Chains A and B, each alone.
Chain A
Amino acid sequence: LAEYRLNHPISKISGRRERLTILAALFIFLTIAAAGITSVLINPDWSMLWRGLLFGLLLGWGLAKLKQKGWVSGLLIVITGYLYTLLFGGGLEQKIYSLLEQFTAGFSRYVFFPEDYPADISLLEQQILELANRGVVLSERVGNWIWTLVAGRAEYDPISTALIWGFILWLVAAWAGWVAVRYRNPLLAVLPGVLLSVSTLTYSQSVPFTVYLLLGLTLLLMAFVHYERREEKWDEAQIAYPSKKGLQINSAALLLAIGLVIFASILSSLSLPRILEWVSSLRENALVQEVNLGDSFGIQAKITPTPDPFIDSRSPGLPREMLIGSGPELSKRPMMTVEIEAFPQIFSGQAVIPIYWKSHTYDAYTGHGWQTSKTTLDEYQPNQQFQPEGESDHIVINQIVRSAGNEIRSLFAAGDPISINQTSTAAWRSPGDLFGVQINPTQTYGAQSQVLSPDAESLRKTGQQYPEWVRKHYLPIPEDLPGRVNKLALQLTASEPTPYDRTRAVESYLRSIPYSLDVPHPPPDQDLVDYFLFDLRLGYCDYYASAMVILLRSAGVPARIATGYASGTYNLNTKRFMVTEADAHTWAEVYFPGVGWIPFEPTGSRPTWEPTQTDLMSLNTDQQPSEIVPGQNNQKAIAWFWYSIIGVFALLSVLSLAFMVYDELRLYSLPEPAAAAEIYSRLKKYSMYLGVPDSTGKTPYEFAALFTSYLLQLTWGRGASNLRLTTTMYIETIIDRIVKVSYNPNPSQISDSPGLYHQWRTLRWRLRALWLQDKFDRWRDWTGRVLKPGPRRIVARSD
């Protein structure tokens, strides 16, 4: 046996491999748990979550390896998790990268062209400020979300949700890593992950397939960790074991786990209710009948001016052709004129929202175009009101529409129609949610409508309490929408405080994309918005509006597509709007609770309504840095920036000074036995810093002997030897006193040397000096090795 032990030294490498296996298994486990959770989430930012899992796991693992205290690790994990989710989940990633880039650029400019100094760093500071500002906005946003959650009101905010989930998964990952190392308890480590995914999946009633995988991985982890712990015991007891045994056991555990997972999944999938549910879901799908309408991106619908026969059959009574025979050729041919009363009031008064002659709105996005959900039809007598006047700020407009040729088949009106002087059929998606109004073909009609005229401030205050019908129709996005669209939406809107600001951010982003009518057909297998935003980056109103609606919905802001005509040109002589074919337009409308639908203009070639002065600031943040003019404000900001940095430093130093003073006083006032314990543990800490091996079971005298012999072994430059000798002397006397204080119950015999506190004070700075010298020595050694080519310098570690 002894021979066997000699021939088979215990391999440490295999232990490391086991640990790596556990780490990998934990990571796979967390990934699957996260996949399970994200499968039921709306728009998960998968890459952010995944990276968070990895970093969190490694952080927890590392902290446990470093033997940090529990609360320190917890605090670190929470803080880093918070920063991580804020930076990467809140879309501030790009900002940080650009900031770094700018910083290095500025730094190198300063290094190479010092004559340019002082360089203009206002841009940099502006960006730092902005970053901080956005961080604060994000935190507030999450805080608000939590507050409303606590208050018991449901409010869907994709950013807050993404941040919260990112943070939770970070915590789960860090916990798993920490517990796996510290407590060696795989069950406890994966418990939060399992609980989280199971509860999420149960809540959303999804297929619990991932739960089986989690089960299998938990089993596997238990086997791994158990085996590793055993191996460690064997190492400790110096029992020989073949190094291949771990591989065998672990692969057996793997097979067993796979078998169990398959068995479990087969067993549970044989349940009858599930089959019934599946059948009934099939039936429901067949029942859902959606009206395929519209403007399906332009290309087909607009090129063919003839009515789509399918539409007529599916939704009788509503014309397929809502834009009076228009096409993308968009000539200047006049289509109709609109005469309205009291025109100057609109532009000179407070209403700044541009006028659109709206005919239809669409809610359902197919990935290639727009259609409306099921509608109900209502007949209306002439001048019968479709809907009462709204309660919020609005202007009632009476308009007379005259056709310039073709007969008009549907109602065009500024804003929301109130009534028309003809018999009409209105199509409602739900009460108050109008799809469009059809009239008998006519050359002229008069209609009354209302245009909302809120100002930006009131729109900011509307909140996010959307009614059920809005959430149901105007928030959904296709499940197969590419993730980058969603990511862009989050990036654009994450740090915007209100839905209004988010809308403005998306709008101004889209308005920077160049306008073109000459664009190729979108590929049939690609999402239209994705194609427009990332591949084409060119387009006309339909593209802009669709992109805006989808981006806003991804950001949790309800929006819809509206079609009709832009206002056209106003003729002062005839006092009429002249609307041409070229004015055919599609734009986006955003719902604000308590206000209604407000139009926004993502197409850069057309004017959007002017925000008030306060809006300008929030809009400017997204513009190019070159547009920021350094001025007095910037000077103030710079000053504020430096003051805050200095302030933070001052605060930190004051705090640490206070802590040091407190610590000294405490040590000074402690009774000697307690001080002995404290000082002894500090001495041990210093010895660890200096590289003395672990001395858990050593008696104080043994520890002193070890410490001093170690100190005397170190090789340092001249002049250090004296310091070393005195230090060893001091260590011996202080240990002697510590022993006497600790174990001698007769204090009268002790008081022949200076008190422990004073001895410690004289010893402490020596230890610090030695530590510095040691670090310096190692550093010099390292640089010597790295910088000097040739054979490695051999360091003598003895005198």
Chain B
Amino acid sequence: MEFESIQDFYQKVITNVEKVIVGKRSTIEMLIVALLCEGHVLIEDVPGTGKTMLARAIAKSTNLDYKRMQFTPDLLPNDVTGVSIFNQKERQFEFRPGPVFTNILLADEINRATPRSQSALLEAMGEGQVTVDGQTYPLSRPFMVLATQNPIEYEGTFPLPEAQMDRFLLRVHIGYPDFADEDRMMQMQQLTHPIDTLTDVVDGNQIPELQIHVRQVHVVESMRSYILELINQTRAHPSLELGASPRGSLAVFRTSQARAAIHGRDYVIPDDIKYMAPACLAHRMKMNPQNILQGQSPTEVIYEILKHLKIPVGGE
């Protein structure tokens, strides 16, 4: 069965990545879900929590091409997409592909670049292709952007507008490891970094095929209405200025499918939706200013809605 192969893929990758990233199973799971859904992930966290290492470990485990880009204010769009250079020898323009031509792109501190450069990347993410000088170049598949953002430092940054945030399938936080995990991490890295010895466990080329299989996971009518009810409640919630977009409901739908598949099921259960909804929706919503001042976050709102939302069980 194809769903078993997805589960198998997931098990292998996560065991492998966990050799490097200790105690962050749910974050790794989110990234694998995004990879299977052809989505992009915004990782929001303070420096040093292992964002780069996570991206590299996943790329290495799946034998995918990996590039890292540091976003700075003087970054130009062409630095992202690539540039056409006139070849003196052959007397014609020759395209030099930018870092976006890869499988897994780590866009570090995306909010430090100017909106122009940001939108160049976000366009590439949305379209799956890049147009330079009227020439269109398709990106390789699979293609996943892991953009990072530092939530503490806002000095001299260009925060992503809502419309751009909406393009990310998920927003995840890594967070600090707990006491025991951090201790284990120090021991592991005493002599060598484990990433150096990490080998690939699956073939990254099968991912497009798995992506097609994920779409075939069943979502029964009651589960679809559960998602819609959830989305509707975010739109009507008093502390939210802006609820989740239709792209948000699609994201919950798709990621729940992927999560069901990686757990070996060909049907979505409420647990999948409850698990994926905060990561899918929180960055698409905007709080009322007074609620922001009260320290309430969109994630809390979603948890609150989920806490009271009745889950449909059984049929007629």
Binding site for B on A (CB under 8 A): 1-2, 236-239, 671, 673-678, 680-681, 696-702, 738-739, 741-746
Residues of A within 8 A of B220 (CB): 742-745
Is residue B239 contacting chain A, with contact meaning CB distance below 8 A? Answer: yes
Q: Does B267 lie within 8 Å of A702, measured CB to CB? A: no
Known A676-B313, A746-B218; further 13 A-B contacts with Cβ < 8 A: A237-B291, A237-B296, A696-B308, A700-B269, A700-B313, A738-B314, A739-B269, A742-B220, A742-B222, A742-B312, A743-B267, A744-B266, A746-B267
Chain A residues with CB under 8 A of B134: none
* Residue of A2, A238, A678 with highest tally of chain B CB at under 10 A: A238
A741 to B295 CA separation, bound complex (whole angstroms): 41
Tell me what chain B mostly uses at the interface: helix, strand, loop, or mixed.
loop
Q: Contact between A680 and B313 (Cβ–Cβ < 8 Å)? A: yes
Assess the B239–A698 pair: CB atoms within 8 A.
no
> What residues of B have a CB within 8 angstroms of the CB of A671 in the complex?
315
| 13 sampled A-B residue pairs with Cβ under 8 A | A2-B295, A237-B239, A237-B294, A237-B296, A671-B315, A673-B316, A677-B314, A681-B313, A698-B311, A699-B269, A699-B274, A702-B274, A745-B218
Contact B315 A697 (CB under 8 A): no
CB distance from A503 to the nearest CB of B (A): 63
Is B294 a contact of A1 with CB atoms below 8 Å? Answer: yes
A700 & B308 in contact (Cβ 8 Å cutoff): no
Whether A673 and B267, one on each chain, are in contact in the complex, defined by CB atoms closer than 8 angstroms, is no
What are the residues of chain B within 8 A of A742 when measuring CB–CB?
Answer: 220, 222, 312-315
What mask results when residues 287 to 313 of chain B are scored 1 for a CB within 8 Å of chain A, else 0?
Answer: 000010111100000001011111111
What residues on B are CB-neighbors of A696 within 8 Å? 307-310
Q: How far apart are the CA atoms of A680 and B314 in the complex, in Å?
A: 8
**Which A residues are in CB contact (< 8 Å) with B307?**
696-697
Residues in A whose Cβ lies below 8 Å from that of B36: none
Query: B91-115, CB under 8 A of A: which get 1 and which 0?
Result: 0000000000000000000000000
> In the complex, what residues of B have CB within 8 A of residue A700's CB?
269-270, 311, 313
CA distance A237 to B295 in the complex (A): 11
B234 to chain A, nearest CB (A): 15
Bound CA span A746–B3, Å: 14
CB–CB B271/A701 < 8 A: yes
Chain A residues with Cβ under 8 A from B308's Cβ?
696-697
Interface size class of B (residues with CB under 8 A): 20 to 34
Q: How far is the CA of A678 from the CA of B314 in the complex (A)?
A: 8
Contact A744 B314 (CB under 8 A): no
- Point out the residues of chain B lying under 8 angstroms from A680, CB to CB: 313-314
Q: In the docked arrangement, what's the CA distance between A739 and B311, Å?
A: 11
Are B295 and A743 neighbours in the complex by a CB distance under 8 Å?
no
Question: Are B314 and A741 closer than 8 Å at their CB atoms?
Answer: yes
Tell me the dominant secondary structure on chain A's binding face: helix
Q: What is the CA–CA distance of A699 and B259 in the complex, to the nearest angstrom?
A: 16
Across-interface contacts of B315 in A (CB, < 8 A):
671, 673-674, 676-677, 742
Residues of B within 8 A of A (CB): 218, 220, 222-223, 239, 265-271, 274, 291, 293-296, 304, 306-316
A236: B residues at CB distance < 8 A: 304
Among candidates B294, B310, B316, residue contacting A674 with C-beta atoms closer than 8 Å = B316
How far is the CB of A213 from the nearest CB of chain B, in Å? 36
- Least CB distance from A679 to B in Å reads 8
Contact (Cβ within 8 A) A1 B270: no
CB–CB B306/A697 < 8 A: yes
Give 8 closest A-B pairs by Cβ, nearest first: A677-B314, A673-B315, A676-B314, A699-B270, A697-B307, A744-B267, A680-B313, A699-B271
A261 to B4, CA, bound (A): 75
**How many angstroms from the CA of A237 to the CA of B293 in the assembled complex?**
13
Residues of A within 8 A of B294 (CB): 1, 237, 239
The CA of A2 and the CA of B309, in the complex, are separated in Å by: 28
A675: chain B residues within 8 A (beta carbon): 314
**CB distance B313 to A677 under 8 Å?**
yes
CA of A631 to CA of B218 in the docked complex: distance in angstroms?
80
Residues of A within 8 A of B296 (CB): 237-238
The answer to whether B314 and A746 touch across the interface, beta carbons within 8 angstroms, is no
Query: By the criterion CB–CB under 8 Å, are B310 and A743 in contact?
Result: no
B270, closest chain A residue (CB): A699
| Residues of B close to A674: CB separation below 8 A | 314-316
Q: Chain B residues with Cβ under 8 A from A238's Cβ?
A: 296
A697 touches B313 (CB 8 A): no
Q: A2-B295, A742-B315, A743-B222 are in contact. Are A701 and B267 (CB under 8 A)?
A: no
Give chain B residues whose Cβ lies under 8 Å from the Cβ of A741.
314
Residues of B within 8 A of A239 (CB): 294
Do A697 and B267 touch (CB < 8 A)? no
Residue of A nearest to B271 (CB): A699
Residues of A within 8 A of B266 (CB): 744, 746
Given contacts A1-B293, A743-B222, contact A697 B314 (CB under 8 A): no
B309 and A697 contacting across the interface, CB-CB below 8 Å: yes
CA distance A237 to B268 in the complex (A): 30
CA separation between A681 and B312, bound complex, in Å?
11
A698 vs B311: C-alpha distance when bound (angstroms): 7
Cβ–Cβ < 8 Å partners of B270 in chain A: 699-700, 743
Distance in angstroms between the alpha carbons of A676 and B311 in the assembled complex: 13
| A670 nearest in chain B by CB position | B314
Q: How far is the CA of A547 from the CA of B73 in the complex (A)?
A: 105
User: Is B267 a contact partner of A745 (Cβ separation < 8 A)?
Assistant: yes
- Please, which residue of chain A has its CB at the minimum distance from the CB of B316? A674
Max chain A Cβ within 10 angstroms of own Cβ: one of B291, B307, B314: B314
The answer to whether B269 touches A701, judged by C-beta atoms less than 8 angstroms apart, is: yes
For residue A746, which residues in chain B have a CB less than 8 angstroms away from its CB?
Answer: 218, 266-267
In angstroms, Cα B294 to Cα A2, docked, is 8
Nearest Cβ on chain A to B220's Cβ, whole angstroms: 5
Inside 8 A of B304's CB, which chain A residues have their CB? Answer: 236-237
Residues of the A chain whose Cβ atoms lie less than 8 Å from the Cβ of B312: 742
In the complex formed, the residue of B with least CB distance to A703 is B311
Min C-beta distance of A240 to chain B, whole Å: 8
Chain A residues within an 8 Å CB radius of B306: 697
Assembled-state Cα–Cα distance A539/B221 (Å): 86
Choose from B269, B274, B316 the contact partner of A743 (Cβ within 8 Å): B269
A236 to B313, CA, bound (A): 26
B314 touches A702 (CB 8 A): no
The interface residues of chain B lying within 8 Å CB-to-CB of A677 are 313-315
Residues of chain B within 8 A (CB-CB) of A681 are 313
